[in-house]
Amino acid sequence: MVSKVLVLGSGAIKIGEAAEFDYSGSQALKALKEEGIETILINPNVATIQTSHEMADKVYLLPLDIKFVEEVIKKEKPDGILLGFGGQSALSLGVALHDSGILEKYNIKVLGTPIEGIKKALDREKFRETMIKNNLPIPPSKAAKSVEEALKVAQEIRFPVMVRVSFNLGGRGSFVAWNEEEFKGYIVRAFAQSEIGEVLVEKYLKGWKEIEFEVVRDKDGNAVAVACLENFDPMGVHTGDSIVVAPSQTLTNREYQLLRSAAIEVAEAIDLIGECNVQLALDPKSEEFYIIETNPRMSRSSALASKVTGYPLAYIAAKLALGYTLDELLNGVTGVTTALFEPSLDYVVVKMPRWDLEKFENAKRKINTEMKSIGEVMAIGRNLHEAFQKAIRMVGIGDELIGKYYESEESLEKVMERIKNYEPYMPMHIAKALKLGASVDEIHEITGIDKFYLYIIEDLVKIAEALRNPDEETIREAKKLGFSEEQIKGLSKDSIKESIPFVKQIDTLAGEVPARTNYLYMTYDAQENDIPYIEKPKVLILGAGVFRIGVSVEFDWAVVNFANAAKKRGYEVIVLNYNPETVSTDWDINDKLYFEEITLERVLDVYNFENPDGVIAFAGGQLANSLAKKLEQKGVKLLGTRGTSVDIAENRAKFSKLLEKLNIKQPPWIEAKSIGEVLAFADEVGYPLMIRPSYVLSGTAMKVAYNEKELKEYLSLATKVSQEHPVVVSKFLDAMEAEIDAVSDGKRVVGVTLEHIEKAGVHSGDATMVTPYRYLKEKHVKKMHKIALELALALGIRGPFNIQFLVNDDVYVLELNLRTSRSMPFSSKSRGVNLMELSAQAVFDGKLSLGSDYKYYEIPAKAFAVKSPQFSWSQLQNAYPFLGPEMRSTGEVASLGFEFEDALLKSWLSVKPNKMPRSNILVYGYDKDVPTLLETVKFLESLGYNVFTLEDSLSYGNALSKEKAVELMKLGKIDLVITSGYAKEKDYFIRRTAVDLNVPIVLDANLGYELSKAFAWAKKNCFEVKELSEYYGPKLQRVVSEPLEELV
Amino acid sequence: MQPSLIAKFKNPERSNWQGHLSSEAYLVLEDGTVFKGKGFGSEGIKYGEVVFTTGMVGYPESLTDPSYKGQILTMTYPLIGNYGVPSKEIKENGVPIHYESDKIQVEGFVISKLMKSNHWASKKSLDEWFKEEGISGIEGIDTRALVKKIREKGVMMGALVVGDYELDEIMEKVKKLSYDEMNFIDKVTPKEIIVHEPENSNKSIVVVDCGIKYGILRELLKRGFKVIRIPYHYDPIDVLEEFNADGILFSNGPGNPALLKELIKKAQEVIEYNIPTMGICLGSQILSLADGGEIYKLKYGHRGINKPVKDLKSGKAFVTTQNHGYAVKAQSLNEFKVWMINIDDKSVEGIYHPNKPIIATQFHPEASPGPLDSTWIFDVFSKMVKGEAHGF
């Protein structure tokens, strides 16, 4: 048995690797802790729940890079390592650690599936050989190591072919090609996305069913298939972008068992110890099937399967890795049965991805083999109709499966075009097409989607049409099939009697054995509740819902940490959330988990059934917070800041009035209803202007205009300005941006001040943040703190809040959020103080334990902390990479350091695919960014780097033509690209080539400059390798900044 | 659903939510509970012991499993009928592969939602099949609520009522019936000897057919055995000698094994005779009783395809298909030893004779429906029959 185990996390959230690894890592850490094993976690993802001392004994916020990991190993001397809980990143890193001899050198045992087994799964050619050796069918395919070889294979197998990339995630680089020309267009990029320069060319199984099994296997070879997931979409759509249904719906027992047995044989073939997922393709017209791939690690699917079944795969996998056998482990749900069983469901589940493609200029809307979705939801119902409808509500696109879009004026022709193009949210398009007269057969023919599912959508269309003239029976039936009150009202133009749905329990055994856990969902398709009402002190915490651009794991961190704080105070904690990737939807974390919609209707249902002491709406971010006022109006008791105050902060006009009253400055703005009004405003305040339309025709929703021409162009081409669609225009200030993350109890404020490295105009979520501040003047900081206190007192803030400021020669307030913010996990971990615990003090205890009344208290800084955004450009085909007022990053990382440069570099290096540049750097840019970029070029040259610029940009130094620059990138001769601003017409291909080829790219001049300074630092210094508490602990080596105590 | 509403659609029969039917239907339980739903299949009143299975696939196999004779089967999985009714013409060694007998055996079928089907192998809808075979089904009830009731109170007698009937009288009758005292084997055992012969068969097995599942036949035929199915009241040793067969198998079947005194006596003779013998489910209980063992009734049975079993000899554990309401008391066994146990409740799942080539399992190694993880037990039996292994 091992005594000290190193766990590798998955780093920043990116498309293809999301919060599911926070969930699985957290479970693994818990499983180790129970055994008394000391745990060391390396994960720079500061927003995760796992990167805390509650979960791991030692937490390193460091790049998941072989050198950094070796340093940690040297220092900590672990005797075991877990590779299967940090996604593909951790697994690939683990293989690299093994291959470089580091694991052997330090005598570290790989727990779970051996490295050889992992390689059999990950390396396409080894996988193929292994399957053939074990008589497991695989599609005609061959691995290739060069473009020429790949093309030859494709010609042999014959088109259409599917190209898969070895050792990568999110299907990046993979594609389907119907002919040679298409093939040639994509193959270079495919190779660039493989960490080992290998692709697999295989026969494209068009229209085949895609089935996944989650298999667990112990050291004695005992194995069970915990879940079977069936894709709604046939082969050709990445699993991450597929709508997934569980359990399987269209398989006969024979088909199910054939595939199940094959999946278990795959697990055996790779010597699995732990958990793996196996993807299979089944002919929709026979029992012929193929093994597609296996992932010998926790995955998106395994997180989903855990939530689908109630079987904690990661926890069990960790125990199996330690040497337990399945029959020795208990099923935590029943407490009496063991882990050796296959869960039986008496409900159905639909997983629906969430896409945010409209946020990205030029991004393709077609759903295909490359994952593009940002988040996912899981809907539970007693029937599929219900689950599909819930799922569409949950993805939070402001519509229903049968809703606004269904009722909109769009021709059948146009809808069929969307169906042919395979656009996001297919069930909505299918419903609309069926309403407009398309047939199930026709849609099946085009999409290959099993008619079983199409019939379900057809049912919904029929009932929707019947609802236009309903009787009671139809309404009852509609509710059973998942129609919301809103939907029924909308279709029937009639208000309906409200009733509470029934509460059902998920128990892993379909009711056969009582469950001792409260993993719950609600349905109208039932006749009784599974749980009784029990009166006791309770709080209902609303979760963050679906992850999308702007809402990610940081809000789950807030929910879980607040829930823990509430639990400590003796409350029964009820969490309402529906995101299967998260820790907050782990039934093991909360007293009660309602896996349900966060809509007004459902929150009230839960509230009315549970009758809690109050509802927490501020922890889950924008979605939950936006319900605050409506809930309050319905008589719900909100804990924390009042709903009316939330409304003031969210309502631009009301908030302006408040600021005026308090004599706090904000950039001038108007809500204009005509272009004339906008122009008049421009005359008054001058350019540049920030424009936020309420209706967007194309492209991005926010824009900075530097002159009248740009303004007019944007207003006429990209938006519509009218009475119904007003546009908000504000003066855009050339300023620094700063924020305060704080908590108030209504009398005092405790906070953390953050400074952005990028100038104003870059969304806060895309900015590189540093704390303590470096450039802000003390008088401005004092003013910020004063404003924070004034606002807290004026609005009676009780709980967490965040203020964004612009600072030039004065301080301006940009916005106030009366909820947790994206940066709060970072603020908390940068100072070693948990802002959610403080929030619980404010809400439950009535008084903060820090600071003093009518004062602002800054939590003292002990080191520099830098947070960097992670983008997923390469995954978003064709999207133009740039920073602007709209957020586009998908995740974040952070590092701490006693020196700023150390923290900045470690943080930046934690972002993929960033690496320290060896020699060649391309720096270019236009307009206002030129001076900073020029300075950067000169500085980098002084460090000995070989710096290129572009012919049309800086008019300095070694200028390349754009063609030459692209060519050098393709040859792997450019190590880093630094640019700034928005110049799509000039440099689309440069930026796109860089991200497609995984060349690190810096998109802001200020950041480029700071990084070049940090490169200089790195030439003379070594990176600090320290665990979090070494920064917080009493034996601090030195204090980098005097705490700004009680400045007000 | 009101007729007026159905008329609003061009194609009402094509729908999941208002299709099939339909008359009102009731499930009446002996404790006085009545569940109201919608009927499908045939109208009428059917009595039986109300049981549930937790398998999520394999409803055609379960419906045709003769062990369910005398029982009203509830599916805990809510959506049923998804892949229709597979063709009986898809066969292996002459035995249909999706069927466990040639007709529906359950007395009634209780589900939450009947789905409109789509599958290449399907020949008809569940509703059509039920109508053809005169079987009743009820949908639209909270099957989880029913399962919880059975879990708490134990299995109960009940009636499935489709159509307009007087429920009070039905309830009276339900209360008088007792599954444990009824003989169902007569309804499922063959009338005369049936022989199945695969190509290139070498050895033969005599099957004491108490309502054998086709799955067991398929496993035996697949291993090259000629199978001689005999009515359960025949003398297996006579047939064994007559056919010069090499082994005997006591099959699964419905009902209370303690009622089968004659069969238990024959099993004693078989044990005495010392020939490779296998028992499955009821067959395992018969062999235990023949050994002087005792059986008891489980509160609500083991019915599902996810049941964990541990082989005490090898230490291996695996998931099995089970369908039994009675179990063997481990301490009551005499010559037989416990081979396998249920990991959850530690009940006896397999027995063996330490000195003779006799093995038996309480679960169904043929699965069907269910995971194929224990078909190796037929290999063990096969080796014994072929003389490659002596005893166990």
Interatomic CA distance for residues A557 and A55, integer angstroms: 12
Under an 8 A CB cutoff, do B118 and A452 touch? yes
Q: Tell me the β-bridge partners of A813.
A: A805
Interatomic CA distance for residues A807 and A815, integer angstroms: 13
Provide the 10 A C-beta neighbour count for residue A426: 22
Interatomic CA distance for residues A346 and A505, integer angstroms: 10
Under an 8 A CB cutoff, do B77 and A247 touch? yes
CB A371 within 8 A of CB A170: yes
Enumerate the H helices of A422-580 as residue ranges: 426-435, 440-447, 451-466, 472-480, 485-492, 553-568
Question: Considering B30, B61, B219, B366, which one is annotated as catalytic?
Answer: B366
The half-sphere exposure of A583 on its side-chain side, counting CA atoms within 13 A, is 31
Under an 8 A CB cutoff, do B76 and A455 touch? no
Report the pLDDT value the prediction gives residue A892, as an integer from 0 to 100. 96
CB B203 within 8 A of CB B386: yes
Enumerate the H helices of chain B as residue ranges: 3-6, 59-63, 126-133, 143-153, 167-176, 185-188, 214-222, 236-243, 261-273, 282-290, 376-385
Residues of chain A neighbouring B318 (CB-CB closer than 8 A): 222, 340
Is the pLDDT at B10 greater than 70? The verdict is no
ipTM over 0.85? The verdict is yes
Assess A254–B contact: CB distance below 8 Å, yes or no: yes
CB A811 within 8 A of CB A833: no
Q: Which residues make Cβ contacts (< 8 Å) with residue B269, sequence separation at least 6?
A: B235, B237
Report the pLDDT value the prediction gives residue A697, as an integer from 0 to 100. 57
Enumerate residue ranges in chain A where pLDDT < 70: 167-170, 497-498, 695-700, 718, 1033-1048
Residues of chain B neighbouring A260 (CB-CB closer than 8 A): 371-372
Provide the 10 A C-beta neighbour count for residue A66: 14
Assess B371–A contact: CB distance below 8 Å, yes or no: yes
Q: Which of A250, A261, A511 sits opposite B118 (nearest CB)?
A: A250
Strand order across the beta sheet in which A727-731 lies? A669-672, A727-731, A689-693, A703-705
What residue ranges of chain A are covered by domains with CATH 1.10.1030.10? 349-492
A873-897+899-1020: CATH superfamily: Methylglyoxal synthase-like domain (3.40.50.1380)
Q: Which of A221, A384, A458 sits opposite B79 (nearest CB)?
A: A384
Interatomic CA distance for residues B58 and B75, integer angstroms: 10
Report the pLDDT value the prediction gives residue A362, as an integer from 0 to 100. 82
DSSP A912-936: TT-----SEEEE---GGGHHHHHHH
pTM here is 0.94
Interatomic CA distance for residues B18 and A199, integer angstroms: 50
In this prediction, residues B36-60 reach a mean pLDDT of: 97
Four-way CATH pick for A518-639: 3.40.50.20, 3.20.20.70, 3.40.800.20, 3.40.50.150: 3.40.50.20
Interatomic CA distance for residues B201 and B193, integer angstroms: 18
User: Catalytic residue at B281?
Assistant: yes
Q: What angle do CA B264, B270, B272 make, to 5 degrees?
A: 105
Least confident of A889-893, B9-13, B294-298: B9-13
Question: Smallest CA–CA separation between B256 and chain A, in Å?
Answer: 22
Q: Which CATH architecture has domain B3-181?
A: 3-Layer(bba) Sandwich (3.50)
Supply φ then ψ for residue B267, to 5 degrees. -65, -35
Report the pLDDT value the prediction gives residue A693, as an integer from 0 to 100. 78
Under an 8 A CB cutoff, do A344 and B343 touch? no
Interatomic CA distance for residues B73 and B71, integer angstroms: 6
Provide the 10 A C-beta neighbour count for residue B5: 19
| Helix (H) or strand (E) segment spanning residue A342 | none
Q: Which CATH architecture has domain A349-492?
A: Orthogonal Bundle (1.10)
CB B298 within 8 A of CB B347: yes
Contacting B residues, span 92-121, partner chain A, CB-CB under 8 Å: 97-98, 112-113, 115-121
Q: Which of A327, A346, A348 sits opposite B308 (nearest CB)?
A: A327
Provide the 8-state DSSP code for A841. I
Q: Which residues make Cβ contacts (< 8 Å) with residue B311, sequence separation at least 6?
A: B317, B318, B339, B340, B350
Interatomic CA distance for residues A878 and B379, integer angstroms: 58
What residue ranges of chain A are covered by domains with CATH 3.30.1490.20? 140-204, 668-731
Provide the 10 A C-beta neighbour count for residue A1048: 15
If you search the block for the tokens 């900044």, which residue do you land on?
A1041
Assess B143–A contact: CB distance below 8 Å, yes or no: yes
Pairing between β-strand A976-978 and β-strand A1001-1002 as defined by DSSP bridges? parallel
Q: What is the CATH number of domain A4-111?
A: 3.40.50.20
Is the pLDDT at B389 greater than 90? The verdict is no
Q: Which residue has the higher pLDDT, B307 or B15?
A: B307
Residues of chain B neighbouring A439 (CB-CB closer than 8 A): none
Reduced to 3 states, what is the DSSP secondary structure of residue A870?
A: strand
Q: How far is CA A924 from the centre of its chain?
A: 31
Give residue limits of the domains in chain B.
Answer: 3-181, 185-385
Under an 8 A CB cutoff, do B82 and A250 touch? yes
Report residue A599 as tokens.
């809509």
Cα-based torsion angle of the residue sequence A463, A461, A496, A600 in order, rounded to the nearest 10 degrees: 140
If you search the block for the tokens 């405003």, which residue do you land on?
A681
A114-138+206-347: CATH superfamily: ATP-grasp fold, B domain (3.30.470.20)
CB A51 within 8 A of CB A834: no
Report the pLDDT value the prediction gives residue A196, as an integer from 0 to 100. 76
Q: Which residues make Cβ contacts (< 8 Å) with residue B387, sequence separation at least 6?
A: none
Most distant CA pair in chain A: distance in Å? 80
Reduced to 3 states, what is the DSSP secondary structure of residue A262?
A: helix
Q: Region of A478 please: left (phi>0), alpha (psi -120 to 50) or beta.
A: alpha
Report residue A645 as tokens.
């105050």
Provide the 10 A C-beta neighbour count for residue A44: 29
Report the pLDDT value the prediction gives residue A168, as an integer from 0 to 100. 66
Report the pLDDT value the prediction gives residue A1043, as an integer from 0 to 100. 41
| b/e per residue A336-364 (b: at least 16 CB within 10 A) | ebbbbbbbbbbbbbbbbbbbbbebbbebe
Query: Could you tell me which of A158, A153, A96 has the C-alpha nearest to residue A122?
Result: A96
A140-204: in CATH 3.40.50.1000: no
User: Catalytic residue at B366?
Assistant: yes
Q: What is the CATH number of domain B185-385?
A: 3.40.50.880
The CATH class that applies to domain A668-731 reads: alpha beta
Under an 8 A CB cutoff, do B113 and A346 touch? no
Distances (CA, A) of A648 to A660, A797, A815: 13, 12, 11
What is the interface size between A and B, counted as CB pairs within 8 Å? 195
Contacting A residues, span 449-508, partner chain B, CB-CB under 8 Å: 450-452, 455-456, 458-459, 462-463, 465-466, 471, 473-474, 477, 481, 504
The residue in chain B having the minimum alpha-carbon distance to the alpha carbon of residue A343 is B306
Assess B55–A contact: CB distance below 8 Å, yes or no: yes
Under an 8 A CB cutoff, do A253 and B368 touch? yes
Under an 8 A CB cutoff, do A253 and B373 touch? no
DSSP A162-216: EEEESS-STTTT-EEESSHHHHHHHHHHHHHT-TTS-EEEEE--TT-EEEEEEEE
Report residue B321 as tokens.
């298909």
Provide the 10 A C-beta neighbour count for residue A494: 13
Report residue A944 as tokens.
């000995």
Query: Could you tell me which of A561, A559, A564 has the C-alpha nearest to residue A577?
Result: A559
Distances (CA, A) of A424 to A233, A365, A418, A835: 11, 7, 9, 37
**Mind listing the pLDDT tens digit for each residue in B138-191?**
999 999 999 999 999 999 999 999 998 999 999 999 999 999 999 999 999 999
Question: Smallest CA–CA separation between B268 and chain A, in Å?
Answer: 35
* Sign of the alpha-carbon dihedral angle for A89, A92, A95, A100: negative
Contacting A residues, span 383-412, partner chain B, CB-CB under 8 Å: 383-385
Report the pLDDT value the prediction gives residue A632, as an integer from 0 to 100. 94
Provide the 10 A C-beta neighbour count for residue A496: 15
Report the pLDDT value the prediction gives residue A1039, as an integer from 0 to 100. 37
